[in-house]
Amino acid sequence: MTVEDVRATLGARVICGEEYLNREVYSACGSDMMSDVLAFVKDRSVLLTGLCNPQVIRTAEMMDIVCVIFVRGKKPDDMIIELAKEKEIPILCTGHRMFSACGMLYARGLNGGASYNE
């Protein structure tokens, strides 16, 4: 599926990176702890998180995450949005809770993906 399919599934709002919605997504990862996210590199993954600070975008940058999704209605501030634009990472926002958002994507066939070096 694409980032746009992810957006439609969650009924999410695009905060920035409109031009990257056709990117392919192969896997997903949901966590509020960034080192947990960094533990397993997945191929073309989206990151769902309730954490809302610039380190989310930094983490996504280091892992080549294709899209960041803020759950529970979290709204990124200008600093986060500017950083995401600079790093060419699209941001989506959804009011769904983490569990529901992950479940909706899982039900559409997106899974955790193969982990790195296991």
Partner 1 sequence: MSECIELRYEVSSEDFTRAGEASSNVKKKLKQMGVSPAAITKVAIAMYEGEINMVIHADGGHIEVTISEEEIEIKLCDRGPGIQNVEKAMQAGYSTAPDNIRALGFGAGMGLPNMKKYTDEMTIDTEIGVGTTVTMKVKL
- Residues contributing to the site for partner 1 (CB under 8 A): 32-36, 38-39, 41, 49, 51, 53-56, 58-59, 61-64, 79, 87, 117
Based on CB atoms, which residue is closest to partner 1, 5 or 82?
82
The CB-of-42 to partner 1 minimum distance in angstroms stands at: 11
> Of 55 and 111, which CB lies nearer to partner 1 in the complex structure?
55
Compute the least distance from the CB of residue 24 to partner 1, in Å: 16
Q: How far is the CB of 88 from partner 1 (least distance, A)?
A: 12
> In three state form, how does the secondary structure of 6-68 look?
HHHHHCCEEEECHHHCCCECCEEEECCCHHHHHCCCCCCEEEEECCCCHHHHHHHHHHCCCEE
**Residue 92 three-state SS:** strand
